[in-house]
Amino acid sequence: MVDLRGRDFLKLLDFTPEEIRHLLKVARGLKKSKHEGTPHNYLKGKQVALIFEKDSTRTRCSFEAGATDLGMHATYIGPTGSQLGKKETIADTARVLCRMYDGIEYRGFDQTIVEDLAKYSSVPVWNGLTNEFHPTQMLADVMTVEEEFGSLKGITLCFCGDARNNVGNSLMVVCSKLGMNFVCAAPKELFPEEKLVETCKEICKETGGSIRLETDIMKATKNVDVLYTDVWVSMGEPMELWKERIDLLLPYQVNKKVLDNASDRAIFLHCLPSFHNTGTSIGKEIFEKYGLKEMEVSDEVFESSHSRVFEEAENRLHTIKAVMLETLKK
Ligand code: CP
Ligand code: NVA
């Protein structure tokens, strides 16, 4: 019997495969209720605080809309407008907020900050993205993969790009935990940290999963079931990094040639937001400076029938609700 009441949700390394599967099952139920219009305000009267030191569309909206669906009220605390950081430490903020709220979400910088917040808070703390991990994203990702293929067993997922960022790290962890095959296609400089790779390889011994790191994109993506990529420069990293990252990662772009190399049934996933055209201010700036119209994924693949990025984005809502429900319920 899985019981997650009162637990923090800081990184997937802290959870057993059974606990992760349980959250996915709850998310499937919540998705059904949402689609059928069945009320599910199981947490009526509770309140959550959402701290965002970095921008967000999906995560913020999933926590806010999800809290409302579950009968709760959410307070958004953005990068400016509160005392956090300038006049008040994370420890003091945690000790204040947990006297007013039933749960706290944090999106920001070092993983140590969210771990500290949890240490000083008497209510559950949820990681909405740090530099190292993005655990709520992973639940939506594997939910989408399972919806597509009916099961996760034996599925091979290849992450192409900056594999030592929060999304790359977390994908390697979730694949290991759920017995999937994780492949990374990246230049050596951007391979995930060796210590995390070793930890995941140990987990794979128990779960039947596997980890493979490749510098050759065609070798990495041959016959894979899931192609996954993320932005080449993450939030919090300097704009000056773009030139270096373009040089390093252009060979790892997910384009038609890569898609054709994958399995015929392959799907494309991306946590979003994505630079697949010049429709954004950063996209335009990169085009003007470097002449690139699309970056980590070509527009052709992003818009193709293999793309499941918007199903994946929707699943952020259902999975984040599952995390709030299971950790806050009585
Ligand atoms: N994928 C994701 O976390 O998106 P946001 O940055 O919009 O929350
Ligand atoms: N790696 C990206 C993920 C965004 C959801 C970032 O941290 O900006």
**Residue-averaged pLDDT of the chain:** 97
pLDDT of residue 184: 98
Q: Is the pLDDT of residue 85 over 90?
A: no
pLDDT number for residue 45: 98
Q: From the candidates 22, 270, 316, 318, which is the catalytic residue?
A: 316
Q: Compute the average pLDDT of residues 58-79.
A: 98
167 lines ligand 2 (CB under 6 A): yes
Mutate to test the pocket of ligand 2, among 165, 169, 272, 316 (most ligand atoms within 8 A of CB): 165
Distance CA 247, CA 199 (A): 30
In which band, very low, low, confident or very high, does the pLDDT at 296 lie, cut at 50, 70 and 90?
very high
Q: Mind listing the pLDDT tens digit for each residue in 194-205?
A: 999 999 999 999
pTM: 0.98
Q: Do 156-224+226-261+267-305 and 12-133+315-328 fall under one CATH topology?
A: yes
pLDDT at 227: 99
DSSP secondary structure code for residue 65 in this structure: H
d(CA 234, CA 100): 32
d(CA 119, CA 113): 10
Residue 206: per-residue pLDDT: 98
The pLDDT assigned to 10 comes to: 98
The CATH H-level superfamily of 156-224+226-261+267-305 is: Aspartate/ornithine carbamoyltransferase (3.40.50.1370)
CB 283, CB 103: distance < 8 Å: no
What is the predicted pLDDT for the residue at 220? 98
Over residues 178-196, the mean pLDDT reads: 98
User: For the stretch 106-137, what's the b/e string if a residue is b when 16 or more beta carbons lie within 10 angstroms of its beta carbon?
Assistant: bbbbebebbbbbbebbebbbbbbbbbbbbbbb
- State pLDDT tens for residues 44-66: 999 999 999 999 999 999 999 99
Residue 264: partners with Cβ closer than 8 Å, 6 or more residues away:
none
Distance of CA 206 to the CA centre of its chain: 24
Task: Determine the residue of 235, 237, 242, 270 to mutate for testing ligand 2's pocket, defined as the one with the most ligand atoms within 8 A of the Cβ atom.
Answer: 235
Please give the backbone phi and psi of residue 198, each rounded to the nearest 5 degrees, phi first: -60, -45
Domain boundaries, the chain: 12-133+315-328, 156-224+226-261+267-305
The pLDDT value given to residue 163:
97
CATH topology for the 12-133+315-328 domain: Rossmann fold (3.40.50)
The pLDDT tens digits of the residues spanning 222-273 come to 999 999 999 999 999 999 999 999 999 999 999 999 999 999 999 999 999 9
